[in-house]
Amino acid sequence: MGQKEAHMRTVWWEDGVVKMIDQRLLPHQFEIVAFDNEHDVARAIREMYIRGAPAIGAAAGFGMALAAQRSQAATTEDLLNDLRTAYDVLYASRPTAVNLRWALDRMMALATSLREQPHQVVRDALVAEAQRIADEDIETNQRMARYGAELVPEGANILHHCNTGGLATVDWGTALGVIRMAHEQGKNIHVWVDETRPRLQGARLTAWELMQWGVPMTLIADNAAGYLMWSGQVDLVTVGADRIAANGDVANKIGTYKLAVVAKENNIPFYVVAPTSTIDLQTPTGRDIPIEERDPREVTHVLGQCNIAPEGVNAYNPAFDITPHELVTAIITEYGVVRPPYEENLRRVVEQAEADRKARQASGSV
């Protein structure tokens, strides 16, 4: 079995195809897969070869670049129509992580802005933009890690849910990026790793990443988290996000809300780590965020194999839940730590990010 080499990315463009780690097989198999069309990239997102909001956004960007490369359009207007079709194919892959729409909108806006250019110019520009989305993600994650590590006390016991590491992003990670930074700063931390039923991102992916990084950790059943918080064995909880509404409500892996309630009950700080690309000012509150419902078989069959329930049992499999902003101590972004009032403070960092991106575009540094 191969290994994720240091600084290897989760998804990347190579020789005209998109390559990614097939996360369904981890931790016992390490396989890289390659796709040459947007339909296969959409399927890879839907079937969770690749998952995690920022990683999904980057994959979607590369999917649009593939669509442009594959298009047989004779005119740029026809190419734009092909790209609109690819947008819809990729957008339909998973509904909750807003990074998917964010990346698709960014790629489509660029293509549209080049409608007077020859279509080869458009094709090349889209590959470059997808690369920029990927490159920016790593820089963003390292900025968040530095801000977040300042909030981690020496010797902290940290509870983490799902997977938010390099595998959930292009590299480095969001909440796990903060944990990695605190570890590398010598803060002697320890991580309680929620297994995260039913897809077990914690047991399969977070444990694997933290062991690779040499971070002290202990794997727990999801249901042990409450006892650990009640018994004073957790100093802070940190999670990622798939979409943050304008008022600060947070969509994240199913089980997050329960952790936030118990953390509040035990006066434990609850931090969300997410880039501004995960903040959706178009969505007013958490009740407006679409929650993905996945195949109930993910609940009844562990990793699609071992049936743990009676044949024909009813099962329900919401993949995310909503944590009301009142339960969120702070949201750590690449523009710093955002605290309440979330409505105005989230808008401020999103507008700052957009202004910076336009300035980079204008200066030609992108």
Ligand X SMILES: CSC[C@H]1O[C@H](OP(=O)(O)O)[C@H](O)[C@@H]1O
Question: So which residues are the catalytic ones?
Answer: 242
Q: How far is the CB of 1 from ligand X (least distance, A)?
A: 22
Residues 309-338 that bind ligand X (CB under 6 A): 319
* Residue in 136, 242, 280, 334 binding ligand X, rule: CB under 6 A: 242
Using CB under 6 A, which of the segments 4-12, 59-67, 209-217, 236-244 binds ligand X? 236-244
* Residue in 4, 9, 51, 106 binding ligand X, rule: CB under 6 A: 51
The answer to whether residue 164 forms part of the interface with ligand X (CB under 6 A) is yes
CB-nearer residue toward ligand X: 106 or 294? 294
Q: Is 94 annotated as a binding residue?
A: yes
CB-CB contact of 57 with 278 (8 Å): no
CB-nearer residue toward ligand X: 8 or 109? 8
Residues 57-96 that bind ligand X (CB under 6 A): none
Q: Under rule CB under 6 A, how many of the chain's residues touch ligand X?
A: 16
* Residue in 138, 253, 262, 328 binding ligand X, rule: CB under 6 A: 253
Q: How far is the CB of 50 from ligand X (least distance, A)?
A: 9
Q: How far is the CB of 64 from ligand X (least distance, A)?
A: 19
Using CB under 6 A, which of the segments 167-175, 208-216, 221-229, 297-305 binds ligand X? 167-175
* Residue in 168, 215, 250, 263 binding ligand X, rule: CB under 6 A: 168
Q: Is 3 annotated as a binding residue?
A: no
Output the DSSP codes for 146-189.
Answer: HHHHTTS-TT-EEEE-S--SGGGSSSS-SHHHHHHHHHHTT---
Of 245, 344, 331, which is closest to residue 289 (Cα–Cα)? 245
Using CB under 6 A, which of the segments 8-16, 30-38, 46-54, 131-139 binds ligand X? 46-54
Q: Is 125 annotated as a binding residue?
A: no
The answer to whether residue 299 forms part of the interface with ligand X (CB under 6 A) is no
**Which residues make beta-bridge pairs with 293?**
318
**Which residues make beta-bridge pairs with 338?**
331
Residues 189-208 that bind ligand X (CB under 6 A): 201
CB-CB contact of 237 with 270 (8 Å): yes
CB-nearer residue toward ligand X: 117 or 212? 212
Q: What is the distance between the alpha carbons of residues 151 and 66, in angstroms, rounded to a whole number?
A: 41
Q: How far is CA 5 from CA 51, 52, 210, in A?
A: 19, 20, 14
Q: How, if at all, do strands 270-273 and 236-239 pair?
A: parallel
* Residue in 54, 166, 198, 269 binding ligand X, rule: CB under 6 A: 54
Q: What is the distance between the alpha carbons of residues 35 and 40, in angstroms, rounded to a whole number?
A: 6
Q: How far is CA 41 from CA 19, 32, 58, 90, 157, in A?
A: 10, 13, 11, 7, 38
Q: How far is CA 335 from CA 141, 345, 359, in A?
A: 11, 11, 16
Residues 205-234 that bind ligand X (CB under 6 A): none
Of 322, 257, 252, which is closest to residue 284 (Cα–Cα)? 322
Output the DSSP codes for 111-126.
Answer: HHHTTTS-HHHHHHHH
* H-state helical runs in 214-318: 225-230, 256-265, 297-300
Sequence ranges of the binding site for substrate: 51-53, 94, 201, 252-253
Positions touching ligand X (CB under 6 A) are 51-54, 162, 164, 168-169, 174, 201, 239-240, 242, 252-253, 319
